[in-house]
Every structure is written in C-alpha cells, then in structure tokens.
Structure 1
Amino acid sequence: METLLARLDRIAGGRHAGYRVPDEARDHPRTRRAFTVIAWLLALELVIGLSAVVVAVVLTAGGVQVGFAVWMRSVIVLGMTVTLFYFAWRARAGYYWAYSRLRLFAKIFPVVTLVIAAIPGLYPLWMVTEQIVFSLILIGVADYLDSDHMRASFPRPGNQGTTGDVRA
C-alpha cells in the first residue's frame, strides 16, 4: 500500500513529494488539533456534497427538471472533497506538498465556487446556497492552514535549515 501511495504522492507532490516536516512539528498538539478540525470540516463538506446529490435525485424523481450544471457541480464537489481528504491525510502525515496543495485549494475553490454561483440562472437557489456554505467551510479550512503555527510547522523545502526528513 505504501508503494502505491508513494507513487501517487510523486504525481501529486512533484519534486518535493518525499519531503516531510520534522516529527515534532507534525505531532505538536496544535498541529494535531488543527488537522482534527480540518477533518471535521471536510467531513461536513462531504455531507453537503452528498446532500446536493440526494436533493437532485429527489427532485428528478419528483419530475423536476434538474440541469446538467447541477449534476456536474455535484460530481465535481464530491471529487474535490475526496481529493482534499487525501491532501489532509498526507499533510497530517507530515508531507509538505500535501499541506501546500490543501492550503492552495482551500483558497482557490471558494473563489471559483462563489464566482460560478453568481452567474444568473446557472443554478437553482438551493444549489447556490449549497455553494455558499461549501465556500464558507473551505475558507475555515484555509484559515486553520494559514495560522502562524501551521505555516511554521510546514516550512517550504529549502527554508527549514537542517530540519526536515527528505525521502524519495
């Protein structure tokens, strides 16, 4: 299993795929607490995403026309959430690349989601509401990842001095 994960990490993490932060930073109580909250927020995102699919299915079964954009959005949100869970899991294991990706996407996805939600007539009101809630939760994830403690715990490769465990 670890071999498969290492390959996936290499694809997702690029040249810094093997770089891990020091154990004391990764295992610090504030770091662990932040990742616990992040996991709960992502679980809430998953529930919201699944709920959107259920609402679309129920509406369709009731004879309401549910547009292609709603179905695509629902599938994309679930895929994004699973990807964010993977990043969070690998970041919790100390991989800088995963922390970096999670932090980046937690900032980008809300902006993209809110811009798309603002397109008149693209989504029904319930889906726009779902997108706003989704974005607010991800902003919360980004806030945890951007804390001084987390940024200090996950120094960029090359900025950490002699600390850090480099594994290929």
Structure 2
Amino acid sequence: MTWESLLLKIDRLAGGRQAGMRIAEADRTHRKTWRAFTWIWSLLGVEVLLGVGAVAVALVLASSGAAVPIAVWVRTIVVLGMTLTLGYFAWRASGGWRWAYQRLRLFSQIFPVVTLVMAAIPGLYPGWMVTEQILFSLVMIGIADFLTSDHMRHAYRPLDPGSKAPPT
C-alpha cells in the first residue's frame, strides 16, 4: 500500500461522496491559488505557535504550583489538534481536493465564532487564555478571508452536473 492510497482512504472518510473530486489543474496551479495557500500556511503556522504557546504557559503555571483549570487543558489540547487537522485539510486542498477546501473553509468560519463565544463566558478561562482565544479567532478569520475570496470560490467551484470531473 502506497502513502497516496492510504491518504485516499483517509480522504474518503473525511470527504464522503466528494472525496474523489479535484479541481482543474489550471485552477490548482494558478498564481492566485498558490498565493492564497502561502498565506493560509503562514497563518496556520501562527495558529500552531499560539497553540503550543498556550500549552507551554499552562505547563509553566502548573509546574510553579498555580491552579490550571481543566477547561484550559482541554481547550489547549483540542485546539492544537483542530489546528493540525486544518493543516491536513489545507495540504489536501492545495493538492486540488475540493472536499478539503470545503472542510477548511467551513471550519475556518465556524471556529472563530465558537472560540469567541467560549471566551465570553465569565470565569471559564483565565485572562491569558481569553487573549489567546481572541488572537486565535482573528488569525482564523484571516484564513477564512483567503478561502472565501472570489478567486478561491471560483477555483473550487462545484462542477456542472453534466460535466466530467477532472482526473484524480
């Protein structure tokens, strides 16, 4: 079994019926598509740094004897895992997989809302975690902005029902 065949099985699980749909090669290699993904990768890198930083702060606080609420531990681990999942979606989307673009776009629009709502619950998180959540949301909104640009929506548009899908 090759790596690509394993990834296609993961794609089938994550992408459902649309797992085999790719965009046209001209759209995938277009300079605006690559520029958008360059920014998206950079912003996802910032998200990973924020996530790792949050884990580090929690570890330092806990090791110095400060009480670190369970909500902080859960949030840091879950968000770091989500960010790595978004990285997988971005990687597959940059390869032209439409399902991955759709998932990345959807989650980059939903996560900031959920994160900001959670940050607004009084007493749930300490101040430093609320600040981290606000920064996380702002960066995620930036990712969503690139994904919803006219060019990206056109490049990853659904195919007409009568047309054939580009080869996978």
Aligned counterparts of 2:145 and 2:165: Cα–Cα separation in 1:
24
Equivalent pairs, count:
166
State the shift of 1:156 in Å: 1.8
Partner of 1:165: 166
Identity over aligned residues, as a percent? 57
Aligned counterparts of 1:130 and 1:72: Cα–Cα separation in 2:
14
User: Partner letter of residue 58 of structure 1?
Assistant: V
**Given the alignment, which residue of 40, 58, 61 partners 1:38?**
40
1:16-165 paired onto structure 2 within 5 Å: 16-158=18-160, 162=163, 164-165=165-166
Aligned counterparts of 2:142 and 2:46: Cα–Cα separation in 1:
12
User: Partner letter of residue 150 of structure 2?
Assistant: D
Deviation readout 1:86-113 (Å, 9 max, x if unpaired): 0000000000000000000000000000
The gaps in structure 2 that reach 5 residues or longer are: none
User: Partner letter of residue 149 of structure 1?
Assistant: H
Aligned counterparts of 2:90 and 2:62: Cα–Cα separation in 1:
34
Aligned counterparts of 2:101 and 2:80: Cα–Cα separation in 1:
20
Change in 2 beyond 3 A, CA 1:28/1:164: farther
State the shift of 1:129 in Å: 0.2
Change in 2 beyond 3 A, CA 1:11/1:157: farther
State the shift of 1:152 in Å: 0.3
User: Partner letter of residue 163 of structure 2?
Assistant: T
Are 1:21 and 1:163, in contact at CA under 8 Å, matched by a contact in 2? no
Taking only aligned residues, the RMSD between alpha carbons, in angstroms, comes to 1.2
TM-score (norm 2): 0.96
User: Partner letter of residue 131 of structure 1?
Assistant: Q
